[in-house]
Chains A and B, each alone.
Chain A
Amino acid sequence: MSDTISAFLRKYRATAVGNTPAQPNIPAAEDDAESDALQRTDRTVECGEADWAPQDVGMALPAPADTPQRFIDGSQTGQPVLCVRSRQGYPVALYLGEVGAVALRSEGRGFVREFAAVERVLSFVVDPFDWAEIESFARDLMNRPELRLRVLPANWPQDAHNPFDYEVLRNQARNRCVQEMESLERLAFAQDRSVTALVDGNIDRVATTPKAHEALIVGVVKTHSTNNLHSQGWQTLLQLEREQRTPVFRLTTGGTTSTTKISVATWFLKLAGTTRLAPNWGYVRVEIPWVQFTARGADRFRLVDELSRWLIQARCTTQSYGRMPVSLDPIVRAEDALKPLFTPPVVLVNRLYRTAGLFRGHES
């Protein structure tokens, strides 16, 4: 059976590659570009654009039904391990990794792991190859007991990107792994929708059609790649003191898949702040589905304040944790619950090399 695997790799002149640092000029992820293009912002939800100013969040906590009880997080590890040359000469990176997701539920003062899934994948741009070859390669990778690798066909890069650029094809392979991780997060979320859930990242990672009267979904976004604010909004954000928030605004995005569209009520919240922190550090963007926000009627801004207070209290306080100022304790715990389920990358790499008849050592 492994003959198919090694025959494919021999035919396309596979060479072992290491996890070399990404080179300059890496194009933006296609998904990001797509989302940005489709994003709409309404900054007049809570006040006029010119009236934006920091808001104190108060001390009240949300009602039990609105308090996050399930915490969803995903993770992916991986690296390019082989480079094959397609018939056209494209240097196609084969990205070996594991994708996983976890859901923790708070019980008393602790957490219970309700969902955990980790899968092994080999992601690469398959389009330059003959379908019959990929078919047998993929089948054999899946049925080798020591590998059990599912091939993820990564998207062909957009026309603006050069397929002869190794970084472009490597990035496509990695992006496909991230998509698969998000699919597992959706599965983790779908397992129990009866209680308020908190997601590490955008809501549309897990839910594309939330309903007004379903349990609340809260997304906490730590990285901010798009510019959603106007000048007054940026000034407000940079003025935030710890435990203050910006006014609520509305974002409507195309989502992470082209078919989804989700509208959220969102605000920036300053979780941490000391004189030694850079001005762009220590805040997160919180989002809840627009339909769930508006369903609260006159209480909608109170919910925002109460959730903000809860998030401030749930902030990670472990000084040794690098992203402590923007991390939540339940999410850090979820990450900790997921990590031990991953196979050490070196083990997976060695298994693949052995199956492929390659030896480690010349890839670094």
Chain B
Amino acid sequence: MSRVAEAVVKLHHDSDYTCDPAMRGPVPLQKFFREVRVQHFSLGSLSQATIAQHLLTSGAVFRQDTVTDMLEDATPLAGLCFRLGTTAICYVREEDILPRRRFTAAHELGHALMHQLDMGRFLLDEAVDDDGRDTHQEIEKEANDFAAALLMPEIVLRRRAEELRTEHGTCPRQALSYRLASELLVSNEAMRYRLKNLGVGDE
């Protein structure tokens, strides 16, 4: 089992969650955050500077010198995972569309669960691509794979494809992708890539 698959299974176990394809609707990402005690926030104009301000004003960080260097960096970010001892706080860019915010949040949760040892104070993402564009860094690819596996469970995708084929005798990937993207609250691009990757649905 890959490290990503292990992390997803462990998260399901720790959250007392069983993925039941008979249940409809998006995966309860919020529950996962709650169960593993990782906080998440959406901030406007996300950058190290706005995150540092938030860390200070929310009381998550008490000493300003811990984040002084961050306060000076206003480079736009899509997401950031800030390590706090053995847990973390995840940030996503508020201006992104909701399915992308959700994917980024899952991506940052992946960092929080899999890459604690690889990060210093934080891991930042200037962009998080949910549509399968090449990601060269191994940990970024792992975080993307984690988000995809968590938000678009293979068992659900295969079940919906089977339902479509049983009901209508056909399962075009494009139609399946549209339907599943809205059900699971992810972008159509992310869903199309995931289906293609898993070989689910007809070309």
Binding site for B on A (CB under 8 A): 115, 117, 126-127, 129-132, 134-136, 138-143, 148, 150-153, 156, 179-180, 183-184, 186-188, 190-191, 208
Flag if B168 contacts A136 (CB, 8 Å).
Answer: no
Task: Please encode chain B, from 67 to 106, with 1 for each CB lying within 8 Å of some chain A CB and 0 for all others.
Answer: 0000000000000000000000000000001110110010
Q: Does chain A have a CB within 8 A of B193?
A: no
* Given A138-B185, A139-B28, residue A156 in contact with residue B97 (CB < 8 A): yes
Residues of B within 8 A of A135 (CB): 26, 28-30, 102, 185
Q: Is the interface of B mostly helix, strand, loop or mixed?
A: helix
Q: Which residue from B29, B33, B99, B168 sits with its C-beta under 8 Å from A115?
A: B168
Docked CA distance A127–B25 (Å): 18
* Given A132-B30, A151-B185, A153-B98, residue A183 in contact with residue B179 (CB < 8 A): yes
Docked CA distance A156–B99 (Å): 12
Q: What is the minimal beta-carbon distance from B138 to any residue of chain A, in angstroms?
A: 27
Flag if B98 contacts A138 (CB, 8 Å).
Answer: no
Flag if B175 contacts A184 (CB, 8 Å).
Answer: yes
Give residues 167-203 of B contacting A (CB, 8 Å): 167-170, 172, 174-175, 178-179, 182-183, 185, 202
Q: Does chain A have a CB within 8 A of B23?
A: yes
Binding site for A on B (CB under 8 A): 23-26, 28-30, 33, 40, 42, 97-99, 101-102, 105, 164, 167-170, 172, 174-175, 178-179, 182-183, 185, 202
Q: What is the minimal beta-carbon distance from A9 to any residue of chain B, in angstroms?
A: 17
Docked CA distance A57–B28 (Å): 60
Flag if B185 contacts A183 (CB, 8 Å).
Answer: no
Flag if A153 contacts B182 (CB, 8 Å).
Answer: yes
Provide 15 A-B residue pairs closer than 8 Å at the C-beta atoms, listed in order of the A residue.
A117-B168, A131-B98, A131-B102, A135-B29, A141-B25, A142-B24, A142-B25, A143-B24, A151-B185, A152-B182, A180-B182, A183-B175, A186-B174, A187-B170, A208-B174
Q: What is the minimal beta-carbon distance from A54 to any residue of chain B, in angstroms?
A: 39
Flag if B183 contacts A191 (CB, 8 Å).
Answer: no
Residues of A within 8 A of B182 (CB): 150-153, 180
Flag if A136 contacts B28 (CB, 8 Å).
Answer: yes
Docked CA distance A151–B202 (Å): 25
With most chain A CB atoms within 10 A of its CB, the pick from B30, B98, B174 is B98
Residues of A within 8 A of B98 (CB): 126-127, 129, 131, 134, 153
Residues of A within 8 A of B175 (CB): 183-184, 186-187, 190
Flag if A187 contacts B164 (CB, 8 Å).
Answer: yes
Flag if B170 contacts A139 (CB, 8 Å).
Answer: no
With most chain B CB atoms within 10 A of its CB, the pick from A126, A127, A184 is A127
Flag if A186 contacts B172 (CB, 8 Å).
Answer: yes
Flag if B25 contacts A143 (CB, 8 Å).
Answer: yes
Q: Given A135-B28, A183-B174, A187-B168, 8 other A-B contacts at CB below 8 A?
A: A127-B98, A131-B29, A131-B101, A132-B33, A143-B24, A153-B97, A183-B178, A187-B175
Docked CA distance A139–B185 (Å): 10
Residues of A within 8 A of B24 (CB): 139, 142-143, 148, 150
Flag if B26 contacts A139 (CB, 8 Å).
Answer: yes
Q: What is the minimal beta-carbon distance from A39 to any residue of chain B, in angstroms?
A: 22
* Given A142-B25, A151-B185, A183-B179, residue A190 in contact with residue B172 (CB < 8 A): yes
Tell me the nearest residue of chain B to A180, going by C-beta.
B178
Flag if B99 contacts A153 (CB, 8 Å).
Answer: yes
Tell me the nearest residue of chain B to A125, going by C-beta.
B98
Residues of B within 8 A of A134 (CB): 98, 185
Q: Which residue from B40, B42, B170, B179 sits with its C-beta under 8 Å from A191?
A: B170
Q: What is the minimal beta-carbon distance from A203 to any residue of chain B, in angstroms?
A: 15
Docked CA distance A186–B102 (Å): 28
Docked CA distance A242–B110 (Å): 65
Residues of B within 8 A of A141 (CB): 25
Q: What is the minimal beta-carbon distance from A152 to any residue of chain B, in angstroms?
A: 5
Docked CA distance A184–B176 (Å): 10
